[in-house]
Amino acid sequence: MSDTLPPDLQLGRPTAQPSSPAAARLDRVPNPHPDTDYVARFTAPEFTSLCPVTGQPDFAILVIDYVPGDWLVESKSLKLYLTSFRDHGAFHEGCTIDIGKRLAGLLEPRWLRIGGYWYPRGGIPIDVFWQTGAPPANLWLPDPGVAPYRGRG
Please compute, for residue 52, the number of CA atoms within 13 A of its CA located in the half-sphere on the CB side.
8
71 near 28, Cβ under 8 Å? yes
Q: Does 51 participate in catalysis according to the annotation?
A: yes
Q: Which of 27, 58, 65, 95 is an active site residue? A: 58
Q: Does 95 participate in catalysis according to the annotation?
A: no
DSSP 86: G
d(CA 139, CA 121): 35
d(CA 65, CA 124): 25
Q: Which of 3, 27, 51, 70 is an active site residue? A: 51
DSSP 85: G
The residues annotated as belonging to the active site are 51, 58
